[in-house]
A = this chain, B = another copy of it.
């Protein structure tokens, strides 16, 4: 997610992300809280303070980092209103909305197969 020192196998991973569309997509959604953020924004736009309230279990820093990453990747649109105190709204982009149905399938797959191997019910 951040800049990488050019260690050979680390950069080989970057190469995979560039070469493979699937790896690319997964790399874009695998950050901490990203799926939760996407799901929170699925049907409404929210301002930063509202997201902050929802994600009170993590820090502003993390929230900002993940929102920035999502924005960079074109999944989230950030709108700044020139007011004081500032107001910033976040919403999903078109392309992010297109992921919805696919996420649904993944989720279904998860719920289907998870019940079979219930080893994580510790």
Contact = CB atoms under 8 A, between A and B. Distances in A.
Interface of A: 8-9, 12-13, 16-18, 20-26, 29-30, 32-33, 35-36, 39, 57-59, 72-74, 95, 98-99, 102-103, 105-111, 113-114, 116-117, 119-120
Interface of A, secondary structure class, is: helix
A20 B103 CA distance: 11
Closest 10 CB pairs of A and B: A21-B110, A25-B110, A22-B107, A30-B30, A21-B107, A21-B111, A95-B113, A12-B57, A74-B117, A25-B106
A105 B108 contact: no
Contact of A105 (B105, B107, B110, B114): B105
